[in-house]
Amino acid sequence: MCPFINKADNRCANHWTLRNIMQTFLHCADSYHACPVYRTLLQEQLADERQEHEVEESLAALAAG
């Protein structure tokens, strides 16, 4: 299952319709690794985590110095 399924991202919203529900469920439950939105969200999450880590390191360096 796509780990971002509960994020309610607008980039996914047009897929989540009753008309597309079966195809969307199969895609989001099974083939999400191939989804360009998934890859974008993953890259954004990793960048945010990297930035948070850098801020924490900077604050620790300031506190130590």
Q: What is the pLDDT of residues 7-60, one digit of tens each?
A: 888 888 877 888 888 888 888 988 999 999 999 999 999 999 999 998 888 888
DSSP 8: -
Containing structural domain, residue 40: 5-64
Distance between CA atoms of 65 and 39, rounded to whole angstroms? 39
pTM of the model: 0.71
Rounded (5°) CA angle 13-7-12: 20
pLDDT the model gives residue 4: 92
- pLDDT score recorded for residue 20: 86
Number of domains in the chain: 1
User: What pLDDT does residue 64 have?
Assistant: 87
Question: Residues 57-65: what's their mean pLDDT?
Answer: 85
Distance between CA atoms of 17 and 27, rounded to whole angstroms? Answer: 13
